A and B are shown apart, each in its own frame.
Chain A
Amino acid sequence: MLDKDGIAKRIAREIKDGFYVNLGIGIPTLVANYIPEGINVVLQSENGLLGMGPFPFEGEEDADLINAGKQTITTLPGSSIFDSALSFGMIRSQKIDLTILGAMEVSENGDIANWKIPGKMVKGMGGAMDLVASAKNIIVAMQHVNKAGESKLLPNCTLPLTGVKCIKKIVTELAVLDVLPGGGFKLIERAPGVSVDYIRQATTGKLFADDAVPEMSLN
Chain B
Amino acid sequence: MINKVVSGADEAISDIENGNTLMLGGFGLCGIPENCITALVKKGVKDLTCISNNAGVDDFGIGLMLQKRQVKKMISSYVGENAEFERQLLSGELEVELIPQGTLASRCMAAGYGMPAIFTPAGVGTEVAEGKEVRNFNGKDYLMEYAFDADFAIVKAWKGDTAGNLIFRSTSRNFNPVMAMAGKITIAEVEELVEAGALDPDQIHTPGVFVHRIFQGANYEKRIEQRTVRTKK
A residues adjacent to B (C-beta < 8 A): 45-49, 54-73, 75, 81-85, 87-88, 91-92, 111, 116, 119, 122-130, 133-134, 160-165
Contacts and interface: CB of A to CB of B under 8 A. Distances in A.
Contact of A124 (B29, B78, B168): B78
Interface string B147-177: 0000000000010000000001111111111
Contacts of A45: 171
Interface stretch (B14-22, B35-43, B117-125): B117-125
A120 to B, nearest CB: 9
Interface in B69-126: 76-81, 86, 89-90, 96, 98-106, 108-109, 120-126
Contact of A123 (B30, B80, B173): B80
B203 interface: no
Interface string B186-225: 0000000000000000000100000000000000001111
5 contacts: A46-B102, A61-B229, A72-B226, A123-B78, A126-B100
B231 A84 contact: no
Contacts of B33: none
B229 A66 contact: no
Contacts of B106: 85, 88
Contacts of B125: 111, 161, 163-165
A95 to B, nearest CB: 13
Contacts of A64: 30-31, 158, 169-172, 222
Given A45-B171, A123-B79, A57 B232 contact: yes
Nearest to B220: A63
Contacts of A165: 125
A83 B178 contact: yes
A81 B171 contact: yes
B57 to A, nearest CB: 10
A126 B128 CA distance: 13
Most chain A C-beta atoms within 10 Å of own C-beta, residue among B28, B77, B80, B109: B77
A122 B79 contact: yes
A85 B78 contact: no
A7 to B, nearest CB: 20
Contact of B229 (A56, A87, A160): A56
A167 B122 CA distance: 14
Given A47-B171, A56-B229, A130-B101, A84 B27 contact: yes
B136 interface: no
Contacts of B168: 83
A92 B231 contact: no
A57 B225 CA distance: 17
B138 interface: no
A87 B98 CA distance: 19
A159 to B, nearest CB: 11
Contacts of A111: 125
